[in-house]
Amino acid sequence: MMNKKNGYAGIDYFRMPAALLVIAIHTSPLAVISETGDFILTRAAARTAVPFFFMTSGFFLISRYTKDETKLAAFIKKILLIYGAAVLLYLPVNIYNGYFQQEYLLPNLIKDLVCDGTLYHLWYLPASVTGAAFAWVLVKKCGYFTAFTVTVLLYITGLFGDSYYGISAGLPAVKEFYGLLFQISDYTRNGVFFAPVFFVLGGFLADSGYRHTLKTSLSGFAASFMLMLMEALTLHHFRMQRHDSMYLFLLPCMYFLFQVLLHFRGKRLKRMGTLSLVIYIIHPMMIIVVRMFAGFFHVKSLLVDNSLLHYIVVCLLSVLFSLVVCFFWEKYVLRKNRHNKNTERAWIEINLEHLTHNAGILSDAMPECCELMAVVKAHAYGHGDFETAVCLERTGVRAFAVATIDEGIRLRKYGIRGEILVLGYTDVCRAGELKKYDLMQTVVDFSYAGALNEQGKAVKVHIKIDTGMHRLGISWKDSVDVKLVFAMKNITVLGMYTHLSCADSLEPEDVSFTEMQLKRFFGLADALGKDLLKNVKLHVQSSYGLLNYPDIHCHYVRAGIALYGVSSSPDKRTKLSLDLRPVLSLKSRAVLVRDVKKGESVGYGRQFTAECDSRIAILPVGYADGVPQNLSGPNGSVLIRGKQVPIAGKICMDQLAVDITDTEAETGDEAVLVCAGNHDSLSAASVAEISGSISNELLSRLGERLPVVVK
């Protein structure tokens, strides 16, 4: 994950130049020097400013990976509040200008509020709302290719109502079409035709992670900017423009400009976002102030007619005013109430760098042409299915396994597009959902396959083969039944697999049993024949199947516990010894420290009695969060202030106590219950063993009420 010193500083650095370019558009600073120069600055170069702000919003907002609409709703709410404040700010200006005395006030007011902005520059705010919502829905529902195609077509439509309007005006039917559009919105540079494509571009650059080299990005920007400049000058020469906000080469220009900015990394300058927004909102008021001042003191020739000086003064006043607003906003209004480890009572902390590392290590250990199938059932073994699956898919994993259909549907709703195999039973009545969400269902036996086929829905499946574990699956002996499943009309067989019941053991009898399972499975595969299995993926290995039988040639390895960098128990020996790194830590904090006198007890059943005057810390985490009650008493411990301290008394549903007598721990100190670091005695496997279980159970039972915090 990105640390604070490796943030997208380039985006923040450009916010101020972009805001000043917007002021340039409205003040024409070079008009006093050169009309052509001013056109190049304000009608070409400065046209990158607003798309930059749209792309920046898209970069941090638009993603096909989303848990829900919370982020979008928060963005829209924020922009609408800002828009409302800006409307009120400029209300006196509109009253002074006679805005409310015009004919057809109500329809014009609606048009301005929704599309044009109640003052000429405020169109950006409703356009942000419409553009963000439209782009979000398109990307979420259709993916980037379709979203980009649709928004580019809209942009081109807007183009012929903007810079290329001269062509449209010469075609009566087209001109009539744009005439109707202009009754709804005075311009096509709005939230429908202009903004969405830049939101989509920003989101794509964030989601894809694709980066050109800095040299390529700079070259691409220089070339596309020159082409856009030539385009603008040509259109201006032939008087084609109705407005001059939209150019064909603006799209590649912004794509490469943003790529350039992404190469500049460092500590984020988050205040720049607020500062540039306030400058954008307030600069017309500063223009009015400067003009009023110039008129009152009779220095109009100096502060207004001299367009360059006029621009400089407006910029200075806008920046100064914005700095004051930001200062008071941060000091008296802003409340930092985001959920993170500093605000939670207890939390799961995951290291996505370790997860990515593990996926790479496991993939490298697999035979050629074998892929990783990431097992993310049970909320990714307690690690958070959203955070885990999104991270893995972004790093190239294209196959996932879940236990239930609802887990699979949840992944699809998060935006996961890779293959998803449901390992467990699904009622055949839900065949429509299997098809709708493009899930692959496990065939648990032959009669199940028949019932699934009778639903009349085209369903993709993997056939489970029972080779000796005797849970789910068609027996390895029943090749005829397996062939009949292949022949079923509504079933498409994409895979066939088995599960090795004791692949985690290197005891001779267990190795012998595993080899028998493998012989049975591949014997069945040979009996079915290459033609039948031509497009069928075979897989037999889970985590220990790979670690102890790495030379098996299949299409997938279903990696679960190994993917998360832990073993099922601390004494597990494997043939392969891989550099797998634990991903998860379970943490809480001391919310109360109290003195307990010798002989006094703590907790239910008075299980802990102080043998001396003691200091006890209370942690607000308990067995309802997945901390096994078997860890109660001296068997269990936590790490606090770098020292391992024992649990004092019984673990409660929501709390536990630890003895911190021999430490300097205080209220607010962080406590580690399961450690992803170098404390072997607090590793998931060790903690699970102490509690009489295995790490798979310990991790997957961590409560859903624990938030997942990315390290």
Residues annotated as catalytic are: 377, 604
Q: Please, which residues have CB within 8 angstroms of residue 14's CB and are 6 or more apart in sequence?
A: 52, 261
Specify whether the CB–CB gap between 464 and 442 falls below 8 A: yes
Partners of 592 in the β-ladder = 618
Residue 404: left (phi > 0), alpha (psi -120 to 50), or beta? beta
Sheet of strand 656-659, all strands in order from the earlier edge strand to the far edge:
592-596, 614-619, 656-659
Structure-block tokens of residue 655: 């709390």
**What torsion do the CA atoms of 330, 335, 337, 342 make, to the nearest 10 degrees?**
60
The distance from CA 232 to its chain's CA centroid, rounded to whole angstroms, is 37
DSSP string, 565-627: T--SSTT---S--------EEEEEE--EEEEE-TT-EESGGG-EE-SSSEEEEEES--GGGT-
Other beta carbons within 10 angstroms of residue 243's beta carbon come to 15
Q: Please, what is the angle between helix 9-27 and helix 35-43, to 10°?
A: 140
Mapping DSSP to helix (H, G, I), strand (E, B) and coil, where does residue 423 land? coil
Cβ 372 vs Cβ 691: under 8 Å: no
Q: Which residues make Cβ contacts (< 8 Å) with residue 524, sequence separation at least 6?
A: 465, 476, 479, 482
| Type of residue at 287 | I
Q: Is 641 left (phi over 0), alpha (psi -120 to 50) or beta?
A: left
Whether the Cβ atoms of residue 390 and residue 65 lie closer than 8 Å to each other: yes
Q: Which one-letter amino acid corresponds to residue 179?
A: G
CA distance 229 to 219: 15
Q: In degrees rounded to 5, what are phi and psi of residue 614?
A: -130, 160
Task: Please provide the distance, in angstroms rounded to a whole number, between the alpha carbons at the two ends of the chain.
Answer: 7
CA distances from 317 to 23, 89, 282, 295, 324 (A): 11, 17, 9, 17, 11
